[in-house]
Amino acid sequence: MSGPYGTMAEKVLMKGNEAIAEAAILAGCRHYFGYPITPQTEVAAYMAKRMPKIGGTFLQAESEIAAINMVMGVASTGRRTMTSSSSPGISLKAEGLSYLAGCDLPALVVNVERGGPGLGGIQPSQSDYFQATRGAAHGDFRMIVLAPASVQEMADLTMHGFDLADKYRMTSMILADGTMGQMMEPVSLEAPEVKTYDKSWAVTGTDCKRPHNIVNSLYLVPEDLERTNFERYERYRTIEENEVMYEEFMMEDAEICIAAFGVAARVSKNAIMAARAEGIKVGMIRPITLWPFPKAAFKKAAEHVNTFVSVELSMGQMIEDVRLATECARPVVLCNRAGGMIPSPEEVLQRIKEVNGGMTK
């Protein structure tokens, strides 16, 4: 296949945000809705250029609230659709995320995070981890949360996210930080094979041939609402069993284990190499799915690791999942910068050395 980005599998240099947009198009998404916000605006700009050329929809919505509800409209018809934003905009999408969950609608939502709270700043952050993994809005629900650590993964996880969304009828969220969105790297883009999913629930018009379909999250009888919640969590359990993704780096003999995702994982790799050069046995588990969290990998690591170090661009959010996964069997310490700052490899190395010297706080 040859397209505007060269022949299949040929590497092209792209920004992470653009890679998300092109990957979405290759995965069959033809309906994009968004509202401008730094640092993800390139997604919208890319869609604005491409969608009209391929018979798709690009619509700059009046707000993030409207954008997510437009996504809900398209998703109700059974088509692939997405929206992208950054932290303050994701807060506005919260209501829609809850409705998508309540209606069991598949959709892809991208959060290229910036520092908060409030208007915060526009520099990279990972401080929406709780929001993404603990349920972004009211009610019992989960989203599949994918954390890319390269431009290639921005593309691959976007495609994978659409598949998971369709497979489990729920929202997949790409949780990237501003670095991932803005960074340029070579990426190879290939149209994935899109499987067919049962969408008999979609509103497509009855054609006067079937009973009407209703896309709805209202259940006034508590027994009914409880049943939908239990059924949904049954599906979540299947996801926890089958869809966990993570990378292990130098973990075979590790005595110290770094937990990091996104840009923090890239920084940590450099620090690990430097520490190894000094003979410190340190490795890393990089969750790729933040939900479902790679609990088993951490639990297993706790058998031979002395201390875990959670490296984050936040005040310490994923660290709670590391503690839960390891059932506090080993100390878990934090190495963090916040507010748009990124820890340097030297800072991470310093923390590794402190831990190696016996520090457990």
Of the pair 182, 204, the CB lying nearest another protein is at: 204
H/E element, 33: strand 31-34
| 145 Cβ neighbours under 8 A, 6+ residues apart | 132, 133, 172, 173, 175, 289, 290, 291
The only residue of 26, 43, 66, 147 in contact with another protein, by rule CB under 8 A: 66
One character per residue 171-210, x = contact with another protein (rule: CB under 8 A): --------------------------------xxxxxxx-
DSSP state of 106: -
DSSP code per residue over 287-324: ESEEES--HHHHHHHTTT-SEEEEEESSSSSHHHHHHH
The size of the interface with another protein (CB under 8 A), counted in residues, is 39
Helix, strand or coil, per DSSP, at residue 34: strand
Interface with another protein, residue 345, by CB under 8 A: no
The only residue of 5, 48, 91, 95 in contact with another protein, by rule CB under 8 A: 95
Going by C-alpha positions, the residue among 166, 174, 213 that lies closest to residue 192 is 166
The only residue of 77, 270, 306, 350 in contact with another protein, by rule CB under 8 A: 77
Interface with another protein, residue 70, by CB under 8 A: yes
Interface with another protein, residue 141, by CB under 8 A: no
Interface with another protein, residue 76, by CB under 8 A: yes
Residue 272 beta carbon to another protein: minimum distance, rounded to whole angstroms: 45
C-beta of residue 99 within 8 angstroms of C-beta of residue 27 = no
Of the pair 79, 300, the CB lying nearest another protein is at: 79
From 211-219, 224-232, 267-275, 313-321, give the range in contact with another protein by CB under 8 A.
211-219
- Pairing between β-strand 332-336 and β-strand 81-85 as defined by DSSP bridges: unpaired
Of the pair 29, 272, the CB lying nearest another protein is at: 29
Interface with another protein, residue 47, by CB under 8 A: no
In angstroms, the CA 200 to CA 26 distance is 24
Helix, strand or coil, per DSSP, at residue 13: strand
Residue 95 beta carbon to another protein: minimum distance, rounded to whole angstroms: 6
Of the pair 70, 239, the CB lying nearest another protein is at: 70
In angstroms, the CA 262 to CA 282 distance is 19
- Burial class, 4, CB count within 10 angstroms (exposed 0-12 / middle 13-18 / buried 19+): exposed
Of the pair 55, 279, the CB lying nearest another protein is at: 55
Residue 342 beta carbon to another protein: minimum distance, rounded to whole angstroms: 36
Going by C-alpha positions, the residue among 235, 222, 355 that lies closest to residue 283 is 355
Chain residues that interact with another protein, rule: CB under 8 A:
31, 33, 57, 59, 61-63, 65-67, 69-77, 79, 81, 95-96, 99, 103, 203-209, 212-218
